[in-house]
A and B are shown apart, each in its own frame.
Chain A
Amino acid sequence: MDFLLNPYYLQIIMFIIINAILGISIYLTMATGQLSLGNAGFMSIGAYVSALLTLKAGVPLYVAVPVGGAAACLMAAVIGIPTTRLRGIYLAIATLGFGEVVRVVILNLTITNGALGLSGIPSMSVMLSKVFTAMGLAAGIGGMSVRQLGNISVIFILAIILGFLVFFALRLSTSRLGRAFAAIKADEHAAEVSGIDTRYYKLLAFFMGAFVAGIAGGLAAHITFYIGPKDFAYHRAVEILLFAVLGGSDVVWGPLLGSLILTLLPEVLRFATEYREMIYGGILVIMMAFRPQGLISEDTLGFWQKKLMSKSEASTQGEISRRTTR
């Protein structure tokens, strides 16, 4: 039990969930065929706003994190209204530039503590442990200490948020909105001609991506106690992009798988830590050359569904035939 509840493993699980949320954020923008490299920037806004609110103003966490997301969303409006007029490469560069501007601004403001970053951000698990102590569970329950209990409940809360987002994304893809997104992704002109307000839907997708990235930033800040401008630089933007490129951006499971693999990979391949960026770079090139749609695409899902169906059919048939022969 203690082995499984090792704080290190618990921390990794938390990071996997945070990265999965980031994967969903890039999936939402990519659902309309827009490549936004600004999600690291939106994440940093969410992280800084919510961390400053809890750290300096004493705002409770459950208010601070959504406010961080809203701030990212607001920023997305400022940057998004001019940039969603742009397509493809222009949008990618403009959003990359936006991330860079955010980083430089954070580096220079006094309230964000410049290059040193913010430290001592109230940690979610510590907060929850305190709550548990106040509830009279100072000794812990079921062999778990209060600290472990705090960590477990953080994971629980994160998992609920992730589950909700996945549910939302799945519902989205079968809704009117999702079909409009898919139409824009397939062919923007055709979508416009058939009466879809492409500008509105692209902006909406951009906002949703920014909001989710902001939430992920706020949550990440309250898990790690420290954030600095370096955490949200170019490499972060590339890493978030990798989730979608490796896993695939057609279906929501793609970025989820991508974030799971890419968060576990450096932990499993400890010896390869120094080569991590090189491996990432190689993955990007190889994926683009051999499987640009990512590991999971709609075809993959269909294939496995069919296979599993036929397998279960075959096994039931086998069962029947065995019974009859007996």
Chain B
Amino acid sequence: MNMMQPFEHAVTEHGPTVLRVVRAVLGPGPDADDAWSETFLAALRAWPDLPEDTNVQAWLVRVAHRKAIDVTRGTARRAVPTDLVPDRPSTTGLPESAEPDLWAAVGALPERQRLSLAYHYLGGLRHTETAELIGGTPEAVRRAAADGIRALRRTYAPEGAPR
């Protein structure tokens, strides 16, 4: 049985998750916006052929991972480091992300921590699934994700500070 649900459901329900993931991977800005758009366009194309029992969020996060790599390759000539927060204007036509400090903290994480955090905490993938995407063992991914979220809490919301 193939997917019969209106595609809009997937956009409404998982659009925010995919945006957080691609922003954590690429930094908030045009590259992340492009990856989000390419993810949902590819998903829209594939939608009618998707088995109905697919875990849609995990599927979208995997598509987003591939699109983020495409975007990174496409912009490699411009030598934009993926672990820095770009300050170019967003193609959404809106002011840069409402949480610049939080994004700076995410951007400051070591790459493995940032990617593990992106795919596990933000994308909801299991550690084993995240390891398949970014390499390494599930245990190493688990540690990196935990270290990443701990560092983020410490940097962004130090103990005792109001959140």
A and B co-occur in one complex: no
Query: A residues bordering B, Cβ < 8 Å?
Result: none
Query: B residues bordering A, Cβ < 8 Å?
Result: none
